[in-house]
Amino acid sequence: MLDGQPVIDAWVQPWTPEIVAAMPDRNFALVDKYGGGGRVRNGFPIEALVDGMDAAGVDRALCSAGPLIPVDVVAAAVARWPDRLVGVGYADPFAPDGVHAAVRDLRRQVEEFGFRALKLEPFINDQDPGQAQWYPLYSACIDLDITMQLQVGNSGPPTYSSHTGQPRYVDRVAVDFPELRIVAGHIGWPWTEEMIAIAWKHPNVWVDTSAHLPKHYPESFTHFLRTFGQDKCVWGSDWPILDFERALGQVATLELTPEVRTKFLHDNAVEAFGLPT
């Protein structure tokens, strides 16, 4: 789509019919607002993820588990398409077995499945990222040399509080764990300028654009991407919330230089997630 430009998508997830059937109906409020509720409510076969990548020219994608996405589904997808999908795991320190069990499970995911990151969505736990119970997972990410990817900004479904998504928590974690690679999702909106300041401040923090179309990026973020934050921004779609072709096709409207475009669509993801080139 972009003249042979290599592309890495920082945020996708399996959305199979079985996964969708287990989701609470309230979670579809977000996709309904995006106008895609009818498109995603029935789910997609796992092949649709890679077919969509092929159609749009996406070479690799960070494919994530989460509170509603089973780890074994991601592991199976990564095993099937190891050159296209990079596994992102999930572990819950607030589950009944506690934080040490979560750390052991994360280690298992890295060692058995080759996962390269841990994705956390703290709004589902209603526990901000600065809570002590998360900290052993952050330390484990450093030991395992994997990245921590974090939902930042407004939570989509209206039944979850957004307070856990404030970028100030990223600042606290980055101060306490300067060796931890942190990718903050969703441009931190509506606290985008705060997210910009924190990404600029910390060498170990990046910002991804998942769930936001380029035409809707705040002007402050577009300026950051083009100029002093060109090494800090990572493209993501949040497929299937946004489809690949629509999200990637609008990148051309940003009027990026070829160098900045390559960083945004590929090189920064390699750095942020420690990926092989």
Consecutive 10-residue runs of the chain (277 residues): their mean pLDDT? 87 94 77 66 93 98 96 98 98 96 98 98 91 97 98 83 93 98 97 98 98 96 98 97 94 97 98 95
Residue-level pLDDT at 121: 92
Burial (CB < 10 A; 0-12, 13-18, 19+), residue 84, is middle
Domain spans, the chain: 8-273
Cβ(36)–Cβ(240) below 8 Å: yes
Q: What is the distance between the alpha carbons of residues 19 and 90, in angstroms, rounded to a whole number?
A: 15
Q: What is the distance between the alpha carbons of residues 54 and 33, in angstroms, rounded to a whole number?
A: 27
Cβ(48)–Cβ(244) below 8 Å: no
Residue-level pLDDT at 4: 84
Burial (CB < 10 A; 0-12, 13-18, 19+), residue 145, is exposed
Q: What CATH topology corresponds to 8-273?
A: TIM Barrel (3.20.20)
The packing angle between helices 71-80 and 46-56, to 10°, is 50
Q: Which of 138, 129, 145, 72 shows the shortest CA–CA distance to 102?
A: 138
Residue 7, CB-side half-sphere exposure with 13 Å CA sphere: 23
